[in-house]
Amino acid sequence: MIQNALKTSFIFLAFLFAFSCTSKIENTNYLVEELEAIQKEFAPDKRVALLAIDVEKIENTYVLKGESNLPDAIEAFKNNLNKANISFIDSIQLLPSSALNNTILGLVTISVANLRSNPKHSAELATQATLGTPVKIYKNDGSWSLIQTPDKYLSWVDNAGITPMTPNDFENWKARPKIIYTNIFGSTYSAPDQKSQVVSDIVAGGILTLLGEESNFYKAEYPDGRIAYINKTEAEVYKAWLAETNPSEENLVATSKQLMGLPYLWGGTSTKGVDCSGYTKTIYFLNGIILPRDASQQIHTGELIDESEDFKNLRPGDLLFFGKKATDTSAERVIHVGMWIGNNEFIHSSGQVRVSSVDKNAANFDAYNLNRYLRTKRVVNSTTGAFINLSKTPVFTN
């Protein structure tokens, strides 16, 4: 999924300078250059870093306003102003907001939380987060919260979709045993009986606290305290699942084909619907790896395998990227991503999850995407890029 101006404008503001009509501009160029340098160093990707600063000059003093979740960036900016002997008043709000009273962490408490570009239901769907996903909470706006998911993506969530926690409460949650839901989708129940009242729907990758076992069911607890039962054939103890997880070629392809025909959903990253990068993200997550959110971020992960349409070196699980190549007057644009499955084919979300071929003689030949092919990257066994290997980085447990 590719970011557009509407999607990023909710918090990822270009640096704005509001000078009063009586202001002198002798230091304006310096301030602009310093802010641009700070942004380039600390917040090159505005989807994962909040650095929104306003500067207003009142007489001979600059007033720094705005907000950020990057204290190091703000400190570096202020140090540079001090070195330049520029007088300023610091009114920048560092997030998380003190109004949260230390409930600065949280867990998704519904099957799939729709995370939006602005704090309203009519705003664009930016991404999704499944049950049990830990989030950082930065501030509230009415019944909405600005949050950051483990892949560092910033977005807004309806407060009904998360359970806020203090850091101590969160650490206690991490220390408790978990289960992970492994079916594509299903239900949880109020008793160890599939004929009992449904507690909620649930999708692949949902995480719950394990309380015990009864008959053929796991007894589990939601982040908001609800108790539910999950059929053992549809879930696994998280640590056992993680120990067995292997993002092999065979497993990645098998997972990808379980989602065949899933509808395309802009912003979707769950088995309720996926966009192109949400699909590759879901495949990898169900095999123990959290990829960055968007195709234009995923392209910076893994090792380069091909960029000349020489597909003979590709292996199943490799990620193929498509878009517009750079020209003398325009930068490269990454617009689409799919996953190689072998036999000259790749699987991707385009209208629905489907299989396409790069073979001109195949019935499912995809001339459109071949004509905008950029390159292929291999994430498995790589250490390059901002992805999370759950077997090495604890996200849901200690």
For residue 398, being part of any structural domain is answered with no
CATH of the domain at 199: 2.30.30.40
Quick one: 74 and 27 in the same domain?
yes
- Identify the CA nearest to 115 among candidates 152, 170, 84, 66: 152
pLDDT in tens, 172-182: 999 999 999 99
From 21, 121, 300, 348, active-site residue: 348
Same domain, 265 and 361: yes
**For each of the chain's 398 residues, which pLDDT tens digit applies?**
544 433 333 333 334 444 333 334 456 778 888 999 999 999 999 999 999 998 888 877 889 999 999 999 999 999 999 998 888 999 999 999 999 999 999 999 999 999 999 999 999 999 999 999 999 999 999 999 999 999 999 999 999 999 999 999 999 999 999 999 999 999 999 999 999 999 999 999 999 999 999 999 999 999 999 999 999 999 999 999 999 999 999 999 999 999 999 999 999 999 999 999 999 999 999 999 999 999 999 999 999 999 999 999 999 999 999 999 999 999 999 999 999 999 999 999 999 999 999 999 999 999 999 999 999 999 999 999 999 999 999 999 99
Is 121 in the active site? no
Start-to-end C-alpha separation, the chain: 32
The total domain count for the chain is: 4
Task: State whether 162 and 189 are in the same domain.
Answer: no
Six-digit token string for 14: 């270009």
Active site residue 336: yes
Residue 102 in tokens? 């230390």
396 occurs within a structural domain = no
Query: Is 348 one of the catalytic residues?
Result: yes
Q: Are residues 256 and 213 in the same domain?
A: no
Considering the domain architecture, whether residues 123 and 228 belong to the same structural domain is answered as no
What are the percentages of helix, strand and coil residues in the chain, rounded to 5? 20, 35, 40
Domain boundary among 202, 217, 243: 243
- Confidence (pLDDT) at 339: 98
235 located within any domain = yes
Residues 233 and 286 occupy one common structural domain: no
pLDDT of residue 26: 56
For residue 179, what are the β-bridge partners? 208, 237
Q: Pick the last residue of a domain from 95, 120, 145.
A: 95
pLDDT of residue 59: 79
Q: Are residues 282 and 323 located together in one domain of the fold?
A: yes
Residue 214 and residue 183 share a domain: yes
Q: Is residue 155 part of a domain?
A: yes
Domain CATH code at residue 373: 3.90.1720.10
pLDDT at 60: 77
The phi and psi torsions of 296 (rounded to 5 degrees) equal -70, -15
Q: Are residues 123 and 207 in the same domain?
A: no
Domain stop point among 192, 216, 243: 243
Residue 378 included in any domain? yes
Q: What distance in Å separates the CA atoms of residue 80 and residue 70, rounded to the nearest whole number?
A: 16
Could you tell me the residue range of the domain that residue 357 belongs to?
A: 249-389
- Statement to judge: residues 149 and 269 lie in one domain: no
The verdict on residue 394 lying in a domain is: no
Q: What is the pLDDT of residue 24?
A: 40
Look at residue 68 and give its three-state secondary structure: strand
Give long-range contacts, CB 8 A cutoff, 24+ apart: 15-19: 15/39, 15/52, 15/53, 16/52, 16/53, 16/54, 17/54, 17/55, 18/54, 18/55, 18/56, 19/55, 19/56, 19/57
Q: Can you give the CATH number for the domain in which 64 is found?
A: 3.30.300
